[in-house]
Amino acid sequence: MIETASRPPSDASAPSTIKLVDADVHAVVPSTEALFPYLSGHWREHVQATMFKGPVENSYPRFAPTTWRPGTETSGSAPAGSDLGALQRDVLDADGVDVAILCCTYQIDSLHNPDAAVAFSQATNDWLVAEWLDRDPRLRAGIVVPIQLPELAAREIDRVGGHPGFVQVALPARTTFPLGNRIHAPIWEAIARNHLVGAIHFGGAPGTPPTPSGWSSYYFEEYVGMAHVVQSQVVSLITEGVFDLHPDVRVAVLESGFTWIGPFLWRFDKEWRNLRRLVPWVRRAPSEYVRDHLRFTIQPLDAPASDAHFLEAIDQIGSDNVLMYASDYPHRHVSSPARLLDLVTPGLAERIRSGNARDLYGLH
């Protein structure tokens, strides 16, 4: 169904023409009907004839334009982020983006019926290829997978992973088991086999609670708390030895903040010093794995009022190779990435604008 093509050979020595990479923009499935061309007759009829409409839940509040960037909610009933033309106009052209990485958070993980989960992830990936990747050469995307079914997720990665537009696999922050758990081994093997990046994104619908103390009342809590969920995922990936098994695998963490990274790593390193014997395959301090294997997008900034404190938080990460520019279009944020880019050294600003993403995704 999808032609496989090898990625263009990398030539790191030539100066890159890619000056700005937006590592987190959203492609939203506007309606179940939009996937009809990519669904079998069985599922089309099922959706048309019954109450089942596919994964209609969303990591962002439904019908809540407060989380959308002003101006994105214009296209009638279609949700923000579902229109390629608007993305081209508002982000790619407006910001001068050379490459943008699409993240589709369609909640395949909410479908407990395994056959529906597979059918809808296949349809979503085929839709991403036909209606986004094939229509603008500046776009790349993450493969949508049924994370709850690791063997089938791996099969889907193998099915479409050769398409040059797919550069990563979209993994929800909220899962039934942490992403490093051995239950997810087939996914990491497929990511490594296909030379892709694992991309942990905001949200997820595993049906288990979003905090260790159960379900919260407000979206506000879930939004803030996603950083803590992601922290647990980072702990899992490193503790379980995902990067020891797959030394070439890298993980992008999207839309979950970064000002917490330094102090989070102090604690993680400390516990490893105490408890190394339990996980002897972890041979270096966790912070070193983070600097070598993990990348974080910068929106939301979650910045303090004080520039000095903001710079300290960035410095505490301990590497210039960790942060990547992102708009998180079409979501609304309080601070512009410009605040960060203007504050850091020009060298670091260049790494954030494009250098780190170029290296991560092999963009040249």
Partner 1 sequence: MPRHVVAREGEIPDGGRKIVEVDGRSIGIFRVAGDYYALLNRCPHQAAPLCEGRLWSGMTVSDRPGAYANRADVPIVSCIWHGWEFDLRTGQSLCEPQRLRVRTYDVFLEGEMDGQSEAGHEAVAPEQSLVATTFPVESDGQWIVIDVDRRPAISGTPRRDR
Partner 2 sequence: MVATAERPGTTAAPLVRPALIDCDLHNELHGDVWALVPYLSERWRRHVKTMGTRSPSGGFYPRFMDHRADARPPSGRRAGSDVAFTRENYLDPCRVAYGILIPLSPAAGQQNLEFGAALATACNDWQVAEWLDPEPRLRASIVIPVEAPDLAVAEIRRRATDRRFVQVQFTGRPHEPMGRRKYWPIYEACEEFGLHVISHAFGSYGNPLTGAGWPSFYLEDHVGPAQAMQANLVSMVTEGVFERFPSLQVVSVENGMGWLPSLGWRMDAAWSLLREEVPHLSMPPSAYLERHVWVTTQPMEEPHHPHQFVQLLEQLGPLVDHVLFASDYPHWDADQPDAAFPIHLTPELERKVYFENAARLYGLG
Site for partner 2 in 226-265 (CB under 8 A): 227-229, 231-233, 235-236, 239-240, 257, 259-260, 262-265
- Among candidate residues 240, 155, 237, the one with its CA nearest the CA of residue 198: 237
Is there binding between residue 183 and partner 1 (CB under 8 A)? no
- Among candidate residues 36, 73, 80, the one with its CA nearest the CA of residue 54: 36
Is there binding between residue 224 and partner 2 (CB under 8 A)? yes
Is there binding between residue 245 and partner 1 (CB under 8 A)? yes
- Rule CB under 8 A: choose which of 83, 240, 255, 320 binds partner 1: 240
**Residue 214 binds which entry of partner 2, partner 1, none, CB below 5-8 Å type-dependent:** partner 2
Contact 331, 60 (CB under 8 A): yes
Residue type, 282: V
Residues 6+ apart with CB under 8 A from 162: 2, 3, 4, 5, 6, 194
Q: Which two tokens stand for residue 320?
A: 């210039």
Residues 6+ apart with CB under 8 A from 235: 178, 268, 286
Is there binding between residue 223 and partner 2 (CB under 8 A)? yes
Q: Least CB distance from residue 280 to partner 1, whole Å? A: 4
Three-state DSSP class for 164? Answer: coil
Q: Least CB distance from residue 88 to partner 1, whole Å? A: 44
Is there binding between residue 333 and partner 2 (CB under 8 A)? yes
The 61-100 contact track toward partner 2, x by CB under 8 A, reads -----xx---------------------------------
Q: Please report how many Cα atoms fall inside a 13 Å half-sphere around the Cα of residue 187, on the Cβ side.
A: 29
Strands 294-297, 251-253: pairing is: parallel
- Rule CB under 8 A: choose which of 42, 53, 89, 182 binds partner 1: 182
Name the β-bridge partners of 200: 171, 253
Residues 6+ apart with CB under 8 A from 191: 157, 169, 197, 198, 246, 249
- Rule CB under 8 A: choose which of 179, 298, 340, 348 binds partner 2: 179
Q: Least CB distance from residue 57 to partner 2, whole Å? A: 17
Residues 266-305 that bind partner 1 (CB under 8 A): 272-277, 279-281, 285
Q: Which of these segments, 18-26, 112-120, 124-132, 301-309, binds partner 2 (CB under 8 A)?
A: 301-309
Is there binding between residue 56 and partner 2 (CB under 8 A)? no
Footprint of partner 1 (CB under 8 A): 182, 240-241, 244-245, 272-277, 279-281, 285
